[in-house]
């Protein structure tokens, strides 16, 4: 039937990076209004502060009330000496996900999956509880996005790392972001084809809110489900970009109403505005209505 396997899921439009070595930012991050926070142990933390940052993030995961926030921890890369220690510290505290940076092949994800699974077993946590966000920051990673995303069932999102990707490609990052157009399209297509979330890279100029809004609107049009932020002031502009048009909302309501009526009458086929409606269309309509309901948040 039209609603079988279909459920409204609260969208994650914004993901705020929070440096793992900043007690103030960590303490206050639940108040900034993002849908999700990413506690960062990688790029924002100097080598000399890695251990202290890990301890601080563990302390926050244990004691801070994150409310309904989706909490993700970005660990150091699989090629670093901090990778396994980061996982052993944070996985027992059951964040929603661990973001694995610089994933260039399925093997990077599978290594994380094995380690996380072993740690879950050691601590009596159901295997598969802590998800993986695979971060694609190299040309190879983007080209292999679908392989990486489909490498194990623990992966729940593909995320694009634009700063490292442009460096890997030897191109400059511009305000318009056209140098990332193909990469963004590939990541969004791969994620959506696998039923995963797709998170876009950060907008580096924290004072250019109009530029951020325009970029966020473009990635919404490409199929991204959320966008990363590096400053609390960016959250509002990202949320604005995800507000659907009223015409789209009106059509979504008609689709859901027609589908519910068809379900009640035992009909498996329904059309709205002359177009056939199936489960994916209903799922999209529910997502649109969820975004509309969150427009003031």
Annotation: binding site for substrate = 74, 137
Contact 76, 82 (CB under 8 A): yes
- Note the helical H segments in 66-208: 83-90, 106-122, 139-143, 145-149, 162-169, 181-194
What is the token pair recorded at 22?
């900043």
Rounded Cα–Cα distance for residues 74 and 61 (Å) = 13
Tell which residue, 68, 7, 1, has the closest CA to residue 37.
Answer: 68
Annotation: binding site for Mg(2+) = 137, 164
Contact 73, 42 (CB under 8 A): no
Beta pairing partners, 47: none
Annotation: binding site = 74, 137, 164
Tell which residue, 54, 168, 291, 88, has the closest CA to residue 160.
Answer: 168
Those residues whose C-beta lies under 8 Å from the C-beta of residue 132, and which sit 6 or more positions away, are 97, 98, 99, 100, 109, 112, 113, 116, 152, 154, 155, 156
Rounded Cα–Cα distance for residues 123 and 180 (Å) = 41
Those residues whose C-beta lies under 8 Å from the C-beta of residue 26, and which sit 6 or more positions away, are 18, 19, 20, 39, 56, 57, 60, 64
């Amino acid at each position: 039937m039209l609603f079988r396997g279909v459920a409204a899921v609260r969208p994650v439009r914004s993901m705020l990076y929070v440096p793992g070595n900043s007690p103030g930012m960590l303490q206050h991050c639940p108040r900034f209004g993002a849908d999700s926070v990413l506690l960062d142990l990688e790029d924002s933390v100097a080598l000399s502060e890695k251990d202290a940052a890990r301890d601080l993030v563990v302390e926050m995961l244990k004691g801070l009330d994150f409310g309904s926030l989706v909490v993700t921890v970005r660990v150091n890369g699989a090629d670093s000496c901090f990778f396994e220690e980061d996982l052993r510290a944070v996985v027992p505290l059951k964040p929603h996900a661990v973001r694995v940076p610089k994933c260039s092949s399925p093997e990077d994800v599978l290594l994380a999956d094995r380690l996380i699974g072993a740690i879950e077993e050691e601590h009596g946590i159901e295997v598969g509880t802590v998800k993986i966000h695979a971060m694609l920051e190299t040309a190879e990673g983007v080209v292999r996005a679908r392989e990486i995303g489909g490498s194990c069932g623990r992966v729940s999102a593909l995320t694009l790392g634009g700063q490292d990707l442009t460096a890997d490609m030897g191109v400059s990052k511009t305000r318009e972001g056209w140098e990332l157009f193909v990469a963004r399209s590939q990541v969004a297509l791969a994620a959506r084809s696998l039923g995963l979330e797709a998170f876009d890279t950060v907008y580096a100029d924290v004072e250019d809110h109009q530029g951020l809004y325009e970029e966020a609107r473009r990635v919404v049009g490409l199929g991204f489900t959320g966008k990363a932020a590096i400053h609390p002031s960016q959250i509002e502009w990202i949320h604005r970009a995800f507000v659907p048009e009223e015409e789209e909302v009106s059509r979504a309501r008609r689709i859901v109403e027609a589908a519910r009526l068809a379900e009640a009458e035992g009909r498996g086929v329904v059309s709205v505005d002359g177009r056939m409606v199936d489960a994916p269309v209903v799922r999209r309509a529910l997502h649109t209505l969820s975004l509309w309901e969150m427009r003031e948040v």
